[in-house]
Structure 1
Amino acid sequence: MTVTIALPDEPEEPEADTVPRKLKITPEIAAEFLSRNSVNRRLDNGQVEALREAILRNEWQVTHQGIAFDRSGRLLDGQHRLHAIIDAGVPVEMFVFDGLSEDAFPVLDTGKRRSAADTLSSTGEKYLTLLSSTIRHVLLFRTMPNEPWTGVRSRVSNDRTLAEYKANVDSYRVAVTVGRELAKHMFASQTALAVGYFLTTEAAPAADIDDWISGLKSGANLDPGDARLVLREVPKDTVKRGSRRRLDMRDQVSMYIKAWNAWVRPEAAGELVLRSLRKNEKMPMPVEERFTR
């Protein structure tokens, strides 16, 4: 049985009073738009801060999401973007939609927010949650190594995550694989180990990385003072769920880097002691080991 569906000869025209326009919105324009706000949801300061940081990093991109007004000129959608523009003090371009029905407000932005892992799904990579977490913490190490990696300031935009992935595809792919494998033998999480591997091998590509990894995996025939053995012997109960001694991500990454530095430059290491970062203690930086030309 054949079912025929009749299609209109011409697509329906949108309502004449619903007109999208691209506009460079300055802080002054944003303030004026916000003065029309009467029906929006409660402000999420964390979301405003995340958008502000994206603007200041010049990562803002024009998408279909923008500012929307109803037929009476009241602001229906976009208050977080407008507040971010004011806080950043930087104009950005976005689409403005005028003349929406008042009935549209309940369905605006009701979908699930796209996660970084969702954004990376188009890459075809495996273990997207681990990959996105690894990228996020590498970026946090680079931008705020000595601040907590939690809270509003630690948010990383999806665009930034994807750009970092594209710039270092092979390195992140290997880091995720190594993180998954090392976590079978050590105290730290897969993410911490992937981050530690990425950062140290980026800084010291001339080091014998295979020897480092094999020692961490097996622990066989290592001298008592070997940095790999010290790292392997960090108690696993320090990261168990609910443990009072649980190490956060910065602690785990710092231990990995300290052990790596001691292994690459044993003559400068002294006695290696791995513990949580103390108050005001700065995150260690991986030592460099470059190929000579």
Structure 2
Amino acid sequence: MTIAIAEPEEPEGNLVWRIVKVTPELADTFLSRASVNRRLNMGHVKALTETILRGEWKLTHQGIAFDKTGALLDGQHRLQAIIEANTPVEMIVFEGLPKDVFPVLDTGKRRSAADTLLSTGAKYLPLLSSTIRHVILFKTMPNEPWSGARAHVSNDQILAAYNEDRDGYGEAVTIGRELSKHLFASPTAAAVGYFVTHEVAPAANIEEWTSGLKSGASLDPGDARLALREVPKDTQRRGSKRRIDMRDQVAIYIKAWNAWMEPERADELRLRRLRKGEKMPMPVEVKFNR
């Protein structure tokens, strides 16, 4: 198969490569040449499709590969994503690979969000990346499940969000790690709860809120911080029949925050899972007076 784009680079043997703008029509043609029709992971296809639609696609060494007979060896998911997005993107197209390389294609470890943040010099990278991911989910799909293919957040999105508010995320991770020692919530849930409440309430007394959660000292029986401290810790442990997922943990944190900010509503406080159809609570805002 020949693609008339530019003069190919010619390494050893018959292997050649070119940078090609792969259109949806060309992607469909390439897919028709698949030597092995592997079952597509539609979650992965969807993630790649959304990356293309957001304009985040980047030209890298990962592209499309054909063997010496012109049969497609690698790139099914990327090609299907181009078709789903109905958008052309540039890729490197390799031709002339021996057939015996097929078993070793796509066997490398995928780069994690924590790997992507490594170059920033930040601390607690797994917790940081998880926190940013769930903050993004809170903002973009608060009333939908935060698991499965629809909840995919790309590494580029996570890195961009971190660069927009490095101090905010760094503080949230530090506070989240500390609060989780005293609450039922995981470090990620505590960090997400802290970030989204602090972000919309810069004028609130955050120190009073966090110090009460940490110590529990001298808190009145009706104090929302005391209620949050008393949520059983085993509710988020793996294997527990009472386990509460990340979205519910964040919701409970915000419910307590809102009750603390508006004490007149404290008697309505119910720190439990979101019921079917119940929407994610939005944190009370506290702005500075101008």
User: Same-fold call, TM > 0.5?
Assistant: yes
Match of 1:109 in 2: 106
Q: Work out which of the residue numbers 169, 182, 185 in structure 1 matches 2:182.
A: 185
Match of 1:275 in 2: 272
Match of 2:194 in 1: 197
Gaps of 5+ in 1: 1-12
Q: CA deviation at 1:57?
A: 2.2
Gaps of 5+ in 2: 1-9
Residue identity in the other structure for 2:145: P
Match of 1:245 in 2: 242
Question: Which runs of structure 2 are paired with 1:68-79 in the superposition (5 Å)?
Answer: 68-79=65-76
Asked if the contact 1:187/1:232 (under 8 Å) is kept, the reply is yes
Asked if the contact 1:212/1:228 (under 8 Å) is kept, the reply is yes
> What is the rounded CA distance, in whole Å, between the counterparts of 2:100 and 2:35 in structure 1?
14
Q: CA deviation at 1:269?
A: 5.2
Q: Which deviates the most, 27-36 or 266-275?
A: 266-275
> What is the rounded CA distance, in whole Å, between the counterparts of 1:157 and 1:164 in structure 2?
11
Q: TM-score, normalised by structure 1?
A: 0.91
Match of 1:236 in 2: 233
CA RMSD of superposed structures (Å): 1.8
> What is the rounded CA distance, in whole Å, between the counterparts of 2:90 and 2:153 in structure 1?
21
Report % sequence identity. 71
> What is the rounded CA distance, in whole Å, between the counterparts of 1:292 and 1:74 in structure 2?
66
Question: Which runs of structure 2 are paired with 1:46-57 in the superposition (5 Å)?
Answer: 46-57=43-54
Structure 1 runs of 4+ aligned residues shifted over 4 Å read none
* 1:164 and 2:161 are equivalent in the alignment: yes
Q: Work out which of the residue numbers 44, 69, 90 in structure 1 matches 2:41.
A: 44
> What is the rounded CA distance, in whole Å, between the counterparts of 2:37 and 2:11 in structure 1?
25
Match of 1:6 in 2: none
* 1:173 and 2:208 are equivalent in the alignment: no
Tell me, what secondary structure is at the counterpart of 1:285?
A: coil
Question: Which runs of structure 2 are paired with 1:14-53 in the superposition (5 Å)?
Answer: 14-15=11-12, 17-39=14-36, 41-53=38-50
* 1:100 and 2:97 are equivalent in the alignment: yes
Q: Which deviates the most, 213-222 or 106-115?
A: 106-115
Residue identity in the other structure for 1:149: W
Asked if the contact 2:223/2:266 (under 8 Å) is kept, the reply is no
Query: How many correspondences in the alignment?
Result: 282
* 1:119 and 2:116 are equivalent in the alignment: yes
Asked if the contact 1:40/1:76 (under 8 Å) is kept, the reply is no
Residue identity in the other structure for 1:138: V
Listed one character per residue, the Cα deviations across residues 121-144 of structure 1 (whole Å, up to 9, x for unaligned) are 222222211111111111111111
Q: Which deviates the most, 218-227 or 54-63?
A: 54-63
Q: TM-score, normalised by structure 2?
A: 0.92
Match of 1:5 in 2: none
Residue identity in the other structure for 1:154: A
Q: Which deviates the most, 207-216 or 232-241?
A: 232-241
